[in-house]
Structure 1
């Protein structure tokens, strides 16, 4: 790749920024901290208190699933900017008894009484991001009980007790969470129930809690206690569901008691591709996980290790592969009950060879059309992972979608409903992700897992909207191709490509090649070379996701890593 001196000022500042903790004696320039090692159990979450709760549960005899449920319940309280029981859940579980992976799709459906004609009657071309219209049935609580029924060892009341206690007694708000909370309040305070339940009063009015301030949510404590006492039906077929029904009837909404009572998530088979000897597992659509598998298949023919991390070749090839995978993502990924995707073909090596011919080492794809496979047979989120002394591992992701969700906070319940319905397409009934009553929307949240030679190797995830499959791939490239350890792989500067054809909203089509956003730490020469190729390169702060990971050590025990861009912690015993 030729290089010419042509750099925009923001990109120059990006390239000259310091690259990680270069003075660390370990010699790993990107690692902000050391990996965590433990002999018996490990947890990695985006909040230190949630991590400690997970460890306490496993010390008391709970399984990795019990620990994940307890941590998730606590995160709904402590990090409402990304998740809560008003959202959806996906999980992959490694069961050491059967030596198999089990997948769970805990996504909810659109209200049965809300039709596409209703959006047209209101003159809407897109589903709005907030308010009652984008709300879909929350699937998290059902997911907890499904996972617990199969893999739990402690009672659900025991698993929910720590979150209930923190909700009543309070906990100090962490820095990153306080930042996003403050950004959400101006947008969401207009919606009924939000300000009363998710802000604090001071002499100037109401605001988000600040870093270090104690936050309590007694309404959520009461709701979780009802779930602990009455099980999943207390949420989907009891007083909580009736309160939700009455709230939406009073506020121009459509989510009903009947929608709640009808909800069931489903166990699904994870799907995989092999990348340089490692089997990488994702869940099939309606999520976007197989995009990561498609990108890996497209990159496997290239000797990335010889190019080196941060080289122009590394960034260029990754971005071009992402464009092709995301074109298919926009065309094929949707609720399989309405539009089944040819998953086996999309993640096959044969299809990757066919699509890979479109990648050129010295030309930028301005447009990327979806393939036509024949069947051979921002948004905020939390990600957490746990591993117990018996070898069970859990990869779990949970979200309200756009930050704190829809803003709709039913009276006295202490949580906000998700706005995942914004991901549906309006105005094109033939689109796979077109809105329909009782349909699951396209989902961005995806857990990941990697096995090697039939044994568990890595449970990990990178939250953050369309960044998620991009992040999944980059973590593996960093470890497998570039030889980084678990912590360094997460802390290394990331690539985020924006502007691909989208599967949601107006389903916009890429025509200009999109934009590469590079985190500080990439070489100046790489930025110049990419621009010389014709890429649009820009600096951006914040769209790079959040990572947690646990690796199984062949000699026994666990290694953990936590995202330096979040408030999280990896810890074990």
Structure 2
């Protein structure tokens, strides 16, 4: 909630959220899908009737891309399902209310991001609402920003819970601003929203189990990627060597093809998760990778993350996002937050698992993760790496940094990263290499046929994700005898230098 106040260009009440929770008493891992659904009036026929198609989708900031905000319900449900019951919601939100009412100095990286996102909206013909500006401008670094409208919305949420958002004043304001801009969401769409308790999916890698949210989230991508990479001698190749990055890049490409082919809302389609995560399928995909050249093929934001481990050993891995900065940039009158545009990730191809449909959740980029010991199921870590389609790549790179290369949590986050993505403008896969990766590596990758962008520096490094991690013990240290588990309960934490984050103990 505090991040919704201090970093509204990344997250807020108008966005979605996912949660993974580790219960230290039972060793069980629970998941909560807090993503919203399309308005009931929306369908492929409806979109085609508006003149849209797969080749000509709605503009990314269009009101038709706004799905029901799932974050407020997810906050309430997380507290209800997994909280200690020692604090009511009103007390939990009090600090955020005070921040919004009293104001706060805007952090440097947040100010840059705030200004850039506001400018992108303006360039697209969408002026950000006055609640999120100071005299029509994005706040500067160090400038004190106040948002009394958001304070009131949070205050009402604390007092009345979910009905304060999904019914009444706020719901009406959401529907009004969407209708004014061509949207079709109704108050009934908001009223019937609910979070979904889900069974997390996982894969084992060298004694550690990585847990991710199931589809419609892209946690499946992280597991598919790790399943392919398990077939290569990554440690022997060397961290961020040309061989290592080449194999990683090719595995990402294969993973993305599978994800875009199969992933959708499991309330509407069947996703063959078990078959895709079978070790034999990982071996088949790995065999299609050439170790010295690109295997050609085709395919096809902004978030905040936090993790907490309490004194009893319970862990919460939580991610919350608007998508693309301020999302749609539409701000319900008197509410103090912008509405997401997650519907931009729906497919407009008839028969596709992710095709738009009323009451359906779109393909979702935000994911959170937990690590457990594959033998004992004891908690090893809570982690997340924010950054749209970079997130599964970030999860895997941070995990490999620790498991294969013995880095501690902070080193694993600090290390230069790779971002593999499909550039729709030029129809090419591009490998972005962060500053710190040797240029000889970039040249060798180009020789193998990769389209390489290197080095990526400055504020542009945010594309490599912004991670946080807490580990239980130093299981990542190669000098630790793994048979000594359970590990002494010392918590280690790291926070990404690419973001305005921190690691704290209380």
User: What TM-score, normalized by structure 1, do the two folds share?
Assistant: 0.81
Q: Does 1:338 align with 2:261?
A: no
Provide the C-alpha distance between the structure 2 equivalents of 1:405 and 1:369, rounded to a whole number of angstroms: 24
- Kindly indicate whether the alpha-carbon contact (under 8 Å) linking 1:516 and 1:535 is maintained by their aligned counterparts in 2: yes
**Cα displacement (A) at 1:552:** 1.0
Q: Does 1:442 align with 2:363?
A: yes
**Cα displacement (A) at 1:106:** 0.5
Q: Does 1:141 align with 2:66?
A: no
- Written as runs of structure 1 = structure 2, the 5 A alignment for 1:244-255 is 244-255=174-185
- Kindly indicate whether the alpha-carbon contact (under 8 Å) linking 2:121 and 2:127 is maintained by their aligned counterparts in 1: no
The C-alpha deviation readout for 1:254-289, integer Å capped at 9, x for no partner, is 121100001011011111111111111111110111
Provide the C-alpha distance between the structure 1 equivalents of 2:225 and 2:347, rounded to a whole number of angstroms: 25
Q: Say which SS state the counterpart of residue 150 (structure 1) adopts.
A: helix
The aligned residue for residue 3 of structure 1 is none
Provide the C-alpha distance between the structure 2 equivalents of 1:254 and 1:232, rounded to a whole number of angstroms: 22
- Kindly indicate whether the alpha-carbon contact (under 8 Å) linking 2:129 and 2:330 is maintained by their aligned counterparts in 1: no
- Kindly indicate whether the alpha-carbon contact (under 8 Å) linking 1:248 and 1:256 is maintained by their aligned counterparts in 2: no
- Aligned partner (choices 523, 526, 533) of residue 441 of structure 2: 526
Q: Does 1:127 align with 2:58?
A: yes
**Cα displacement (A) at 1:133:** 1.3
**Cα displacement (A) at 1:528:** 2.2
Provide the C-alpha distance between the structure 1 equivalents of 2:125 and 2:14, rounded to a whole number of angstroms: 15
- Aligned partner (choices 131, 154, 164) of residue 197 of structure 1: 131
The C-alpha deviation readout for 1:419-438, integer Å capped at 9, x for no partner, is 00011122x21111111111
Provide the C-alpha distance between the structure 1 equivalents of 2:469 and 2:167, rounded to a whole number of angstroms: 36
The C-alpha deviation readout for 1:182-216, integer Å capped at 9, x for no partner, is 11223335878833211111xxxx21000000000
The C-alpha deviation readout for 1:141-164, integer Å capped at 9, x for no partner, is 111111111222211001000000
- Written as runs of structure 1 = structure 2, the 5 A alignment for 1:180-329 is 180-189=113-122, 194-201=128-135, 206-329=136-259
Q: How many residues align?
A: 480
**Cα displacement (A) at 1:369:** 7.6
Provide the C-alpha distance between the structure 2 equivalents of 1:191 and 1:361, rounded to a whole number of angstroms: 46
Q: Say which SS state the counterpart of residue 464 (structure 2) adopts.
A: coil
Provide the C-alpha distance between the structure 2 equivalents of 1:558 and 1:74, rounded to a whole number of angstroms: 24
The aligned residue for residue 169 of structure 1 is 102
- Written as runs of structure 1 = structure 2, the 5 A alignment for 1:421-570 is 421-426=343-348, 428-452=349-373, 453-499=376-422, 512=428, 514-539=429-454, 540=456, 541-542=460-461, 543-553=463-473, 554-570=487-503
CA RMSD of superposed structures (Å): 1.8
Provide the C-alpha distance between the structure 2 equivalents of 1:430 and 1:509, rounded to a whole number of angstroms: 25
Provide the C-alpha distance between the structure 2 equivalents of 1:93 and 1:341, rounded to a whole number of angstroms: 23
Q: Say which SS state the counterpart of residue 102 (structure 1) adopts.
A: strand
Q: Say which SS state the counterpart of residue 80 (structure 1) adopts.
A: coil
The C-alpha deviation readout for 1:428-462, integer Å capped at 9, x for no partner, is 21111111111100000000111013100010011
The gaps in structure 1 that reach 5 residues or longer are 1-72, 371-378, 501-507
The aligned residue for residue 93 of structure 2 is 160
Q: Say which SS state the counterpart of residue 64 (structure 2) adopts.
A: coil
Provide the C-alpha distance between the structure 2 equivalents of 1:341 and 1:419, rounded to a whole number of angstroms: 24
Note closer, same or farther for the CA distance 1:391–1:353 as it changes in structure 2 (3 Å cut).
same
Note closer, same or farther for the CA distance 1:341–1:173 as it changes in structure 2 (3 Å cut).
same
Provide the C-alpha distance between the structure 1 equivalents of 2:179 and 2:433, rounded to a whole number of angstroms: 46
Provide the C-alpha distance between the structure 2 equivalents of 1:325 and 1:415, rounded to a whole number of angstroms: 34
Provide the C-alpha distance between the structure 2 equivalents of 1:114 and 1:369, rounded to a whole number of angstroms: 26
**Cα displacement (A) at 1:544:** 0.4
- Kindly indicate whether the alpha-carbon contact (under 8 Å) linking 1:193 and 1:409 is maintained by their aligned counterparts in 2: no
Provide the C-alpha distance between the structure 1 equivalents of 2:425 and 2:251, rounded to a whole number of angstroms: 17
Q: Which has the higher contact order (CA 8 A, sep 6+)?
A: 1
Q: Say which SS state the counterpart of residue 466 (structure 1) adopts.
A: helix
Q: Does 1:390 align with 2:312?
A: yes
Provide the C-alpha distance between the structure 2 equivalents of 1:413 and 1:194, rounded to a whole number of angstroms: 13
The aligned residue for residue 94 of structure 1 is 22
- Kindly indicate whether the alpha-carbon contact (under 8 Å) linking 2:299 and 2:422 is maintained by their aligned counterparts in 1: no
- Kindly indicate whether the alpha-carbon contact (under 8 Å) linking 1:191 and 1:408 is maintained by their aligned counterparts in 2: no
